[in-house]
Amino acid sequence: MNSKKEKDIEGIIYERELIRQLGLLDAVMIGIGASIGAGIFAVLGLAYGTAGPAVIYSFIFCGIASILTGYSYSRMSQLFPESGASYTYIARAFKKPVFGVVAGATLWFAYLVSCSTYAVGFSEYLGYFVNNNQRTIIGLISTVSGLDVSFVSQIIGNAFQLIDKRIIVVALVAVFGLLNFVSVSETSRTQTIIVMSKVAILIFFVVVGLIFVRDMLTPKIGIVDFKIGIQYTNNFSPIFSPTSFQNPILPIMAVVTIIFIAFEGFDLIPTTGEEIKNPKRNITRAIYITIITVNIVYLFTVIVIIGLIPWYQAGASEAPLAEAIKQTWVGQWGEILVGLGGILSTASAFNATLFGTSRLAYVMSRDGVFPKQFIKLSRRSHVPYISLIAASVMSLALALFGDLGVVAGLASSSFIIIFFLVNVSNYRLRSKTKSFWLIPLLGASMTFIPLFFMSTVTLLSLALWVGGIAIIYFIVSRFREKRRPPDNKADPLKTPQTELEHP
C-alpha cells in the first residue's frame, strides 16, 4: 500500500497512508454536521426550561468559549497536521506519554458515547416524527401512489408495529458504517447533502419565527401594578425564570454543562488532517467557518424559540422546535419539516463523529497506543476499516445496552477537559504556534469554569475513568518493558514516531 512520510514542526516523522481527497467544503460539513446534532432539536427544551429566557446567556458563554478554543485548534493544526488532532496536540505539548494516552482514550470514549447518543436520538426522532404525523404521511402516500387510504393505512400501521427502535439504531449504524467503508468521497458527498438540508430547515424555522415574534420584541405602554409604565407582553420578560430568581448564575452554568457538547463539532475537523488537501490552510478556514455558522444559527434559533413559546412549555416538550413552529402560520407542515430536520441532524452528527472516531483510533494505533490491527487500511478505499468496525460495533453496543443517561454526562465533561487541555497545550507551545498568549489562557479559563457546575457523580466518574486509564497505561508499559529484549528497551508508548515500525 502506498505511503508517504511527512514531518511536523518538531521534526517527528509520521507515515501517511491515507489519501488526500477532501476539500474545504467537506471539512466544513463534518464540523457543522457534528455540531448541529440532536442537541438543538431536543436538549434546547431542557435548557430553556432550566434557565428560562436567560438560556441565551448560556449559548453566548459557549459561543465565546468555542471561538477561543477554535483559535487554539487552528494554531495547533498548523504545527501538527495529523489526524490525531486533540490527542496529538496534547501528547506533543506535555511530552509525557501518559497525558497523550489518557487524553486520547478519554476522547475516543467520548466520541463513542456521542455516536451512541446520536443513534438513539435518530430512532427517537424518527419514531416521534412518524407517530405524530401518521395521518399526513398516509394521505401523502395515498395521493402520490393512487392507492386507497384505508389500504395504505393498514400497510403503514402493520409496518410501524414491526419496526422496533432498536432495529432503527442497527440500520443507522450499518448504513453509515458501510458508507464510511466504501468511500471517503461518497461519505463526504452524503454528509454535504444532509447538512445543507438541515441547515436550510433551521434557516426556514428562524425566518418564519422572527416574522412571527417581531411584534413581541417591542415593549408597549400599559398599566403595570396600577401605574403607567412599560408593559412586556412577550416571553423575554422576565429574563430569568422563577426557578432562577435566587441565584441566576447557577441555572445559566448548569445549562452550559448540558449544551456544551453541541459546540464541539469543530474539533473533528482536524481529524481530516491526513485526508484533506492543503491542510494548513483548509483546516483553519473550516474551523472558523464552522464556529461562526453554528453560533449564528444557535443564537437566532434560541431567540425564536423564546419568542414563540414560554419556558415552562418548552421544558415539558419532547420536541420544542416542532412545538414552537406550530404557533406560526405554517402549522402542522412546519412541525413535519422541523421533525425531518431532527432526523437529518442526528444522522449527520453520527456520520461525522464515526469518521473522526475511526481516524483517532488509527493514529493512536500508529503511535503504539491502541492495538496494531487498528492501523490496517482497506485496499480499495484506503480507510482504517478495523478502527471503523470497532467504532461501529462499540457505539452500537452502547446504544442498545448501555445507560446513556449516565455516560452522556461523562462524555460532555470529557469534551470540556479535552478543550481545556488543548488550550493549555497551545499556551505551552505559543512560541511555536505564534499565538497571542492571552487567547489560549482565556480559552482555558472558560472551558474550566463549567467543571465547577457539574454534578459530583459526573466528576467522580471522570476522575475514576482518568485514573483507571493511567493505571492501565503504567501496567502495560511495565509489562512491555519486561518482555522487550535488552537491546531494545524503548516502549512504543514512549517512543517518537520516527522510531516506530509500521506494519
Q: Of 100-114, 154-168, 246-260, 451-465, where does mean pLDDT reach its minimum? A: 154-168
pLDDT for res 495? 45
Mean pLDDT of 25-47: 82
Does any domain span residue 10? no
Tell me, yes or no, if the pTM score tops 0.75: yes
pLDDT for res 404? 63
Does any domain span residue 253? yes
pLDDT for res 321? 80
pLDDT value at 489 more than 70? no
pLDDT tier for residue 448 given thresholds of 50, 70 and 90: very high
Does any domain span residue 158? yes
Best-predicted range by mean pLDDT (287-301, 317-331, 458-472, 484-498): 287-301
Does any domain span residue 2? no
pLDDT for res 337? 85
Q: How large a percentage of the chain has pLDDT more than 70?
A: 80
Q: Residue 71 belongs to a domain with what CATH number? A: 1.20.1740.10
Average pLDDT, the chain: 82
Asked if residue 44 lies in contact with residue 318, where contact means CB atoms within 8 angstroms, the answer is: no
Q: How many CA atoms lie within 13 A of 79 on its CB side?
A: 24
pLDDT for res 409? 72
Say how far residue 74 (Cα) sits from the centre of its chain. Answer: 18
pLDDT for res 499? 38
- Pick the more confident residue, 326 or 500: 326
pLDDT for res 500? 37
Does any domain span residue 7? no
pLDDT for res 261? 83
Tell me the three cell numbers of residue 357.
472516531
- Pick the more confident residue, 129 or 295: 295
Mean pLDDT of 215-234: 49
Alpha carbon distance 438, 419 (integer Å):
16
pLDDT for res 461? 84
pLDDT tier for residue 497 given thresholds of 50, 70 and 90: very low
- Pick the more confident residue, 312 or 382: 382
pLDDT for res 37? 73
Helices (H), 16-164: 24-35, 38, 44-51, 55-79, 86-94, 97-132, 134-145, 149-162
Alpha carbon distance 360, 330 (integer Å):
43
pLDDT value at 432 more than 80? yes
pLDDT value at 481 more than 70? yes
Q: Of 155-164, 177-186, 293-302, 430-439, where does mean pLDDT reach its minimum? A: 155-164
Mean pLDDT of 272-299: 94
DSSP string of 275-334, one letter each residue: TBSSHHHHHHHHHHHHHHHHHHHHHHHHHHHHHHS-HHHHHT-SSHHHHHHTTSTTHHHH
Does any domain span residue 9? no
pLDDT tier for residue 25 given thresholds of 50, 70 and 90: very high
pLDDT value at 210 more than 60? yes
Q: Of 143-152, 239-248, 387-396, 438-447, where does mean pLDDT reach its minimum? A: 239-248
Does any domain span residue 87? yes
Instruction: Return the number of other C-beta atoms located less than 10 Å from residue 459's C-beta.
Output: 15
How far are the Cα atoms of 258, 282, 342, 385 from residue 33, in angstroms, in the given order? 19, 17, 12, 22
Domain holding 100, by residue range, is 16-494
The one-letter code for the residue type at 286 is A
- Pick the more confident residue, 281 or 242: 281
pLDDT tier for residue 231 given thresholds of 50, 70 and 90: very low
The structural domain count of the chain equals 1
pLDDT tier for residue 325 given thresholds of 50, 70 and 90: confident
How far are the Cα atoms of 86, 105, 137, 474, 479 from residue 469, in angstroms, in the given order? 17, 8, 49, 9, 15
pLDDT value at 45 more than 60? yes
Does any domain span residue 58? yes
pLDDT for res 216? 59
Mean pLDDT of 353-369: 92
pLDDT for res 293? 95
